[in-house]
Chains A and B, each alone.
Chain A
Amino acid sequence: MLVDRATGHAFARVGERSLLLPAESVGESYQMAQIAQLAGSGQSRAETESIVVTTTEHHHVIRPVPVPGTDGPLLSVVFDRARTNLALARRELDQRAEVLLA
């Protein structure tokens, strides 16, 4: 699912919709993670790269899609936990996100 960070609008969805997080909460979750990261890093300018929520059945991964100079949308993906190596999945997701809007 591709979500507008600021407004929480879902630009596009594919796959099993019932498993996806609500689009509005994807944007809010990402921004809460940014605030938490800021609080924990002091004066560091490190930016939040992604957030992962793991349930007993799924991994929910949210990460921004790089767009030249603009407020890029967020990519929210759900993985089946039983069949997924999270490290490999995230690596592949990063590669796809880099070229999604390029």
Chain B
Amino acid sequence: MSPTGTGPAPYGGLAADMRSLHHESFTGALLVFGPPDTTLHFRQGLLVAARTPAAPAPDTLLLRSGAVPEQDWAAARAHALTTGDLGAELLARRHVSAALLELTLERSLLDGVFAMGLTPSNRGGEVRPGALPPLLRLDEGVEPGPALREAARRHDAVGRRWGPPADLARLRPVASGAPEAVPSTVHRDLLARADGRRTPRDLAFALGRDVSGVMADLVRLAERGLVETAPRPPGGPLSRRLPERGQDGPGPRPLTQRRPGADGTHLAPGTDTGLPPEVAARLNAAHHVPGDLLGDEE
């Protein structure tokens, strides 16, 4: 971070807040307003978790990837609700190794900070001292400075090779190459789900991968012509459809006007009801309810 108080792009002034919390050895949460909101959890001034709907949490990374079976996870989580530490529970039950757990937690934390940078900075936030940490968090946290620099490096890598990461995050890539032309299983899995309906975030959740990793791979596949990342042209199948109008039909009818204090409904002067005159007269008479003073004025 620069000595002026701002941090690496695209985090700006938020970096100064995080640095301040680090120097105060803050324990609690910093809620950064979105959309989507991001909650950064600190312990003794170090980042131990980042939670945002914009990036998969560690449970998604471990479950969707198949690293931990769902049944084992559910049992461990049920017990952890009383202890408050799901990581310790998973380790005690040998559902995951300590090294893989730590790697996953760090991956999720850095990805959450990366995803936070996909929306404009300086959104404001709220400090919540003493807020409870999530069930899964790092034992030894990461300093905010290195976490922000790493996230900014990932933004820069996508920006140099493709364009603004925020733009890529909004697109719904479409596979345009044969899976046989893809160099690895990881890339094949990604290509198989790039169906034009999923954003990079959706792909990350579907695959149990981090958003930043998915975006980096999409850039590589796009460079080789294996995935199309162009925005969908307007007028596509999901474009907004306007109500159809008959070619020779009348235009929209004017709304009836209602006067202040009236308890009946009266047609506006000159309104064409589209009804035969006799029917229109009876209908108009029906609007004159007893005690309707306004009706007497007409």
Contact = CB atoms under 8 A, between A and B. Distances in A.
State whether these chains interact.
Answer: yes
Interface of A: 2, 4-9, 11, 24, 31, 34-35, 37-38, 43, 47-48, 67-71, 73, 100-102
A71 B186 contact: yes
B65 A47 contact: no
Interface stretch (B95-103, B122-130, B253-261, B290-298): B95-103
Nearest to A99: B97
A101 B103 contact: yes
Contact of A4 (B97, B99, B107): B107
B154 A68 contact: no
A100 B66 contact: no
B216 A7 contact: yes
11 contacts: A6-B210, A6-B213, A7-B157, A7-B210, A9-B110, A38-B181, A38-B183, A68-B65, A68-B66, A69-B65, A69-B67
Nearest to B213: A6
A24 B66 CA distance: 27
A102 B103 contact: no
Interface in B61-82: 61, 65-67
Given A100-B99, A101-B99, A101-B103, A71 B213 contact: yes
B150 A9 contact: yes
A102 to B, nearest CB: 6
B97 A37 contact: no
Interface in B239-298: none
Contacts of B154: 7, 9
Given A68-B65, A101-B103, A37 B183 contact: yes
B106 interface: yes
B216 A6 contact: yes
A102 B100 CA distance: 7
B52 interface: no
B46 to A, nearest CB: 16
Contacts of A34: 183-184
B217 interface: yes
A2 B106 CA distance: 13
A73 B106 CA distance: 13
